[in-house]
Amino acid sequence: MTLTGLYVPLITPFAADGSVALDALERLAHDVLGAGASGVVALGTTGEPSSLSPAERSTVVDLLAGVCTDLGRQLIVGTSDPAEVPASAAAALTLVPPFVRPGEDGVVAYFSALAARSPVPLVIYHVPYRTAQPLSAATLRRLAAVPGVAGLKLAVGGIDADTIDLLAGPPAGFAILGGDDVVISPLLALGAAGGILASAHLATASFARLTRSWDAGLGHRLARLSAALFAEPNPAVVKAVLHEQGRIPTPDVRLPLLPASKESTRTALDRLSETL
């Protein structure tokens, strides 16, 4: 299995009555896959999984698994329990254990145990500004050597020394996917295999082209769009823009998130028009 190119961590659209708008979700999946995405992520942070009921989460995964199977594309499922992931999925996106700060050896032991019992490969989500657990380039290479670990969603908040070290000598067969939308262009220039990018709900074809063939000018324009889309907690602005486009029935998010402001929505629409 090769993980490369663009993966869109899909929002969970809501209908006016508060239920999951499954028809809109299916259309979004077809839209981004038809525009060149390699696959989609179900139940990533952008999908607000902590606000969904178990039944809602299961329905979302089943729907997206069906779309990806029909179109021959890859599904990645965000979860802390890979046993819940369908066998047809390409991988489980699994967060470095947050809050407890187990240390680097603890992280390696945790993923070694998780991968050993997972029915699908793991993509490790490394986002230290949320988990409070830093990992060195040396530790990331140790994780890459764990059987059953296929890749890394790298979201350290920028380009640090460990990122440069890791990308200067990436482990063979280990997919390093950028997870900070604003800096995806320099990550690709340094050698990342692709990205898991919420911004790619919009201008999907441009993001897909960027992940296939890095272009500095396109990268700069998309970075401005990403900055606008992340001006408020994700996915509020993304949802507001999709609603303005008529692609989802409401811009609603669930608490603790709040809807995007009109100002942020207008700025993101302006940036989008500059990109297209």
Task: Report the catalytic residues.
Answer: 125, 153
Distances in Å between the Cα of 45 and the Cα atoms of 48, 186, 198 are 5, 23, 9
